[in-house]
Every structure is written in structure tokens, then in C-alpha cells.
Amino acid sequence: MILKEAPPDKLYFSIGEVSEIFAVNPSLIRFWEKEFDILKPKKNRKGNRLYSQKDLENLKNIYILVKERGFTLEGARKKLKEKTTDTDTTGEVIARLKNVKEHLLKLSEEI
């Protein structure tokens, strides 16, 4: 589950910020970089990774396929190569449904 939304006005994110957004370890993000060609974060002079909004979108698609839909890494790579991926809309629907569920659970606790 994606814990928080990335600020839309920010251009670049550190690997720590990205790992907090997706609630995963930074090592998983580095691993996915090796496994998926679409992840190409910039690196500064120190070698620190800087993830753009586009990188976050790609990570979101990978996260949905692997963590939420249960794809293998190979299956996720194939799905991402298809230009007709439905992960964007599916991810949005899943996030909305989870928010509704949390809201309903809070309401039921209050009753």
C-alpha cells in the first residue's frame, strides 16, 4: 500500500523519500532499478539517486504489478513493455477503495 502521495511541485526525490512514499526499503528500490530498464534516476556528484516524477510513476506501476497484483518480476517487465498497461487506472481505483475502506472502518468504530 502506498502510504502517502508525493508532493506534485517537487522535481526530485531522494531514495529515502521514495522509500517512505512506497513504504518499502531503499534496497528494494535499488533492486528494482537493476531489474527494470524504465527506472533511470539521475545521480548527483556524490552519486546519490534523484528520482523524478516520471520515475515515481514508473515505480508506482512496478509496485502495483509486483506487490498488489502478484506479478513475478518477469511478468511485470512484460506487462510494462506493453503500451496498453492498465496499472495507472487500476492503481488509482485501488487507492480510492482503500481510502473508502479506512473511512468506513473509522465510522464503524465511532458507532
Mean pLDDT by 10 residues, the chain (111 residues): 64 91 93 92 92 90 89 89 62 78 89 82
In this prediction, residue 49 carries a pLDDT of 93
Cβ atoms 71, 81 nearer than 8 A: no
* Packing angle of the helix pair 53-63, 87-110 (nearest 10 deg): 70
Domain tally, the chain: 1
Stretch (H or E) spanning 41: none
Helix, strand, or coil (residue 99)? helix
In this prediction, residue 88 carries a pLDDT of 56
State the CATH number of the domain containing residue 38. Answer: 1.10.1660.10
Q: Is residue 51 part of a domain?
A: yes
Q: Is residue 37 part of a domain?
A: yes
In this prediction, residue 50 carries a pLDDT of 94
Distance separating alpha carbons of residues 82 and 20, to the nearest angstrom:
28
Backbone angles phi, psi at 41, to 5 degrees: -70, 150
Q: Is residue 85 part of a domain?
A: yes
In this prediction, residue 69 carries a pLDDT of 87
Q: Is residue 8 part of a domain?
A: no
| C-alpha dihedral sign at 86, 101, 68, 28 | positive
